[in-house]
Chains A and B, each alone.
Chain A
Amino acid sequence: MTASPVLMQGNEAVAEGAIAAGARFFAGYPITPSTEIAETLSRRMPEVGGSFIQMEDEIASIAAVCGASLAGLKALTATSGPGFSLMQEMIGFAEMSQIPCVIVDVMRGGPSTGLPTEPSQGDVMQARWGTHGEHSVIALVPSSVYECYTLTVEAFNLAEQYRTPVIVLSDALIGHMREAVSLPEPGSLRIAERGIPDCAPEEYDTVMSDLDNILPRPPLGSPFRVHVTGLVYNRRSGAPETGDPEVASDLGRYLREKIYHHRDAIARVEEYQMEDAEVAIFAYGSVARSAKAVVKWSRAHGAPVGLVRPITLWPFPTLAVDRMAEQVRTIIVPEMNIKQMSWEVQAAVAGRAKVVDLGRVDGKLITPVQIEELVKSEFYYHDWEKS
């Protein structure tokens, strides 16, 4: 069931997706090209009984989001590269203290002020490794306005399910693009709600989350008198314990495994025309749109080309990349950065196929023609022209 189509911008779709997911708190700081998310939510949040706060900077924004989530609300913030960098400290706090929240990064050209109004995919490694210390991360990459909506909902679901911050990596092109979308009917979406622990408050310190049963965090001000800390803590009692290497190791490994153990369940890809593909394009976000066009053109020429589009960039979709590496002779990785994901693909492919990278950092979208040039060079002339 879908509603009648509406013309919507990617950033607006993120905002509406957040509301649909049950988010009732937004804190942010204006930054191009993410600002429409804040503008939309400043209007929408009060309408649904939620709160919008424009904070003094991005550090405060993610800090307030952590606070609101601890008090029991689903909460998000939205920013772009420079603001995302400022948020990394508190993203680490959220990882460590296991606070579900959503961070939307609408990527633009960088580093620094860079190309503030132009798209980029330069933050994909910042999303993975931006904060300090050992941690795991979930990052989703929409490549359409519709996905801006559905993946924002999914981001909240994953945040609640795994009690972790989840990053939505949009970009200036997806964020500012308008498409006619038929949004899913309210009620047709899966919405993960925050539960409360299934035990008596006084027992809370003695029960412990494990990888297959991640307990919800009770809200502040409930009979569960919790201590939340960024220090290394005992997973059972929640009490800080920095003097015991075993406690630190147990927590550190748990925080990583919490996501890695479930990565095949979390990781999502779209495989397009891959059944008989000999050459694959591995492309994500806005670039995947160009890549899809190339697959169609190539197929029209009779060239067996397919697309693997990661929807979940982190955890890295290892299974899909394995399948692709076993099947094709060449993998082309076009991205609006220089080799950030192609290195990752190369490492996962481990010599089983040739990996060709195509980077662009001038703030312009990688065009289908650019990708097609590389695809063509993978086929004999007569094969390409035989159609």
Chain B
Amino acid sequence: MSALVDEQRLEKPPAGDYKLPRIKPHATSEIIPWLRTPKTIWCPGCSNGTITRALIDAILGLKLDPEKVVVVAGIGCSGRIAQYLEYSTVHTAHGRALAVATGIKVADPSLEVIVAMGDGDCSAIGGNHFIHAARRNIDVTALIFNNSIYGMTGGQMSPTTHTGDRSTTSARGNVEAAFDLCELAHAAGATYVARGTAWAYRQLVDVIAGGVAHKGFAAVEAMTACPVYYGRFNLTADPAEFLKGQKQHAVPADTFVEGESRQREHYPVGLLHHSERAEFVTSLARVREQAREEAQHG
């Protein structure tokens, strides 16, 4: 093995023929007990509510012990999910959710830690935490609400705003290139990478469930509709039209042709990457074991 190849980074395909979990959506009456409030601050037409429901559906579908579910969120529109969910929840600071989640998961590995972040949270102010959580392959799930813009502060460009797009801080069109968050996660070492849309609800539930069930760092990008800011400035202010746009532009991962179809709004959806390698919390436990053996045998 080349000295340049880090053994920890060597991946292998998952054992057997891996298939995403198939979750049967739950009735609204089953979803509601997991919401603390019927009121949100999200705008009419926003897809964050859809993603919130998909997350609850996935948690119910996987039959997780609700007492052990911890949702950690950042700041922004998506961050508010923490105060709406009836699980143990932590609403942290902007960009810091993954770093807080790292401490939580290491301190108590029995917890199922799910991190909700916006695209700015994840890849701008929290970009460093994102790539390092992926590199460590820590067993948490990052659920990224990507609306391609900073919604809470009123529509400024984010690292996922495409070149040429307008926002309140790129009135003449964005001159920067956008991050592809899934490519970023994969390159940084995430062992589960998937993308879903608010349009395709059942697929969204399944890719979230797959991420939560995965042992290792899972990045799940949920494309959300933001008709009020991103849509109004760039596509359409009509929520239904916005979602129809997602239907047109989202291409199933197995039929997606790299290069040809990757344009402004064309992106692959579904499971994009899945592998196995050493998980961080497990490795730390091994170090503890080793230290104890050394102490016993001098």
A-to-B contact residues, CB < 8 Å: 24-25, 27, 46-47, 49-51, 53, 55-57, 59-61, 63-73, 75, 89-90, 93, 219-223, 225-231, 239-240
Distance, CA A56 to CA B132, complexed state (A): 7
Which residues does chain A contribute within 8 Å of B93, judged by CB atoms?
A: 63, 89-90, 93, 230
Q: Contact check, A229 vs B91: say whether CB atoms are below 8 A apart.
A: yes
Q: Contact check, A63 vs B92: say whether CB atoms are below 8 A apart.
A: yes
Q: Is B83 at the interface (CB under 8 A from chain A)? A: yes
Q: What's the minimum C-beta distance from B118 to chain A, rounded to whole angstroms?
A: 16
Q: Contact check, B288 vs A49: say whether CB atoms are below 8 A apart.
A: yes
Q: Which of A50, A64, A230: most chain B Cβ within 10 A?
A: A64
Partner of B102, one of A53, A69, A223, A225: A53
Number of contacts between A and B (CB, 8 Å)? 143
Q: Is B27 at the interface (CB under 8 A from chain A)? A: no
Give the nearest-CB partner of A93 in chain B: B93
Which residues does chain B contribute within 8 Å of A221, judged by CB atoms?
A: 67-68, 70, 88, 108, 110-111
Q: Given that A25-B103, A230-B93 are contacting pairs, would A219 and B108 also be in contact in the complex, using a CB cutoff of 8 Å? A: yes
Distance, CA A24 to CA B106, complexed state (A): 11
Q: What's the minimum C-beta distance from A206 to chain B, rounded to whole angstroms?
A: 16
Distance, CA A209 to CA B108, complexed state (A): 26
Interface size on B, residues (CB 8 A): 38
Main secondary structure on A side of the interface with B:
mixed
Q: Contact check, B287 vs A64: say whether CB atoms are below 8 A apart.
A: no
Give the nearest-CB partner of A62 in chain B: B99
Q: Contact check, B103 vs A63: say whether CB atoms are below 8 A apart.
A: yes
Q: Given that A71-B111, A225-B86 are contacting pairs, would A230 and B103 also be in contact in the complex, using a CB cutoff of 8 Å? A: no
Distance, CA A262 to CA B108, complexed state (A): 33
Q: Contact check, A60 vs B106: say whether CB atoms are below 8 A apart.
A: no
Distance, CA A287 to CA B36, complexed state (A): 54
Q: Is B284 at the interface (CB under 8 A from chain A)? A: yes
Partner of B100, one of A56, A66, A225: A66
Which residues 265-295 in B have Cβ within 8 Å of A in the complex?
A: 284, 287-288, 290-292, 295
Q: Given that A51-B107, A71-B103, A240-B83 are contacting pairs, would A60 and B291 also be in contact in the complex, using a CB cutoff of 8 Å? A: no
Q: Is B101 at the interface (CB under 8 A from chain A)? A: yes
Give the nearest-CB partner of B73 in chain A: A229
Q: Is B82 at the interface (CB under 8 A from chain A)? A: yes
Give per-residue flags for B194-234: 1 if the beta carbon is below 8 A from chain A beta carbons, else 0: 00000000000000000000000000000000000000000
Which residues does chain B contribute within 8 Å of A71, judged by CB atoms?
A: 103-104, 107-108, 111
Q: Contact check, B129 vs A56: say whether CB atoms are below 8 A apart.
A: yes
Q: Given that A220-B70, A240-B83 are contacting pairs, would A63 and B104 also be in contact in the complex, using a CB cutoff of 8 Å? A: no
Q: What's the minimum C-beta distance from B98 to chain A, rounded to whole angstroms?
A: 8
Which residues does chain B contribute within 8 Å of A51, judged by CB atoms?
A: 106-107, 284, 288
Distance, CA A65 to CA B92, complexed state (A): 13
Give per-residue flags for B115-140: 1 if the beta carbon is below 8 A from chain A beta carbons, else 0: 00000000000001100100000000
Q: Is B162 at the interface (CB under 8 A from chain A)? A: no
Q: Which of A89, A220, A231: most chain B Cβ within 10 A?
A: A220
Give the nearest-CB partner of A63 in chain B: B99
Which residues does chain A contribute within 8 Å of B178, judged by CB atoms?
A: none
Q: Contact check, A228 vs B90: say whether CB atoms are below 8 A apart.
A: yes
Partner of A239, one of B83, B87, B106, B291: B83
Which residues does chain B contribute within 8 Å of A227, judged by CB atoms?
A: 36, 82-83, 88-91
Which residues does chain A contribute within 8 Å of B186, judged by CB atoms?
A: none
Q: Is B96 at the interface (CB under 8 A from chain A)? A: yes
Q: Contact check, A47 vs B291: say whether CB atoms are below 8 A apart.
A: yes
Q: Given that A64-B103, A67-B107 are contacting pairs, would A55 and B132 also be in contact in the complex, using a CB cutoff of 8 Å? A: yes
Q: Which 6 residue pairs of A and B lie closest in terms of their CB atoms, listed nearest first? A: A67-B103, A64-B103, A63-B99, A71-B107, A46-B291, A68-B103
Partner of B295, one of A47, A67, A219: A47
Q: Contact check, A70 vs B99: say whether CB atoms are below 8 A apart.
A: no
Known: A71-B111, A93-B93, A229-B90. 6 other contacts (CB 8 A): A46-B290, A61-B99, A68-B103, A70-B90, A71-B108, A240-B83
Give the nearest-CB partner of A96 in chain B: B93
Q: Contact check, B107 vs A59: say whether CB atoms are below 8 A apart.
A: no
Distance, CA A220 to CA B288, complexed state (A): 23
Give the nearest-CB partner of A224 in chain B: B88
Q: Contact check, B107 vs A73: say whether CB atoms are below 8 A apart.
A: yes
Q: Given that A67-B100, A240-B91 are contacting pairs, would A46 and B287 also be in contact in the complex, using a CB cutoff of 8 Å? A: yes
Q: What's the minimum C-beta distance from A337 to chain B, rounded to whole angstroms?
A: 29
8 A-B pairs with CB atoms under 8 Å apart are A27-B102, A51-B284, A56-B128, A60-B128, A64-B99, A64-B106, A93-B92, A230-B92
Q: Contact check, A25 vs B106: say whether CB atoms are below 8 A apart.
A: yes
Q: What's the minimum C-beta distance from A214 to chain B, rounded to whole angstroms?
A: 20
Give the nearest-CB partner of A73 in chain B: B107
Partner of B104, one of A53, A55, A70, A231: A70
Q: What's the minimum C-beta distance from A356 to chain B, rounded to whole angstroms?
A: 42
Which residues does chain A contribute within 8 Å of B89, judged by CB atoms?
A: 226-228
Q: What's the minimum C-beta distance from A14 to chain B, rounded to whole angstroms?
A: 20
